[in-house]
Amino acid sequence: MTSSTTSSATSGVLGSGTSGAMGDGIAPAFYTAYAAVNVKQHVPIALSLERPNYSKWKAFFTALCTKYGLLGLPDACIRGWMYGSCDDTVLDLAMELDQDARALYVSIEALFQANKEPRTVVLGQEFHSMLQGDLSVDAYAQQMK
């Protein structure tokens, strides 16, 4: 995916320039209803730097926002969902003071997309030098995947 495609995809997910919690004219009751949503039920994996699971997390998270019709809507709710579905190490690198949901999303995406080409080279080298050793066929296939 090119950077322009990525940029338009993320702006489609979280809108552009959302004004924040109460500045968009949506009633407080709207936030209360969605604040009760358990993000872990919809995004069953935690985004982590240790496990390369950004693509999977993004698919779950985008589906959650789409399901509730929140694309470009309540910023505080969406940020809360991201906070609840990311590992602390990811948040430590991506979070900034007074950051809206879109900026947080773009920052998270940059963590995982910035080193895509070098990571591809490293993974290719690891794949071609992989040995089954003591691993079962299932474990070896999973490692290859």
Residue 60 tokens, joined: 């779950």
Residue type, 106: V
**pLDDT values of the chain reduced to their tens digit, one per residue, 145 residues:** 333 333 333 444 454 444 444 445 555 555 567 777 888 998 998 998 888 889 889 888 888 888 888 876 678 788 889 999 999 999 999 988 878 899 999 999 998 888 777 777 777 887 777 777 777 888 777 777 6
Query: Torsion over CA of 11, 16, 22 and 28, rounded to 10 degrees?
Result: -30
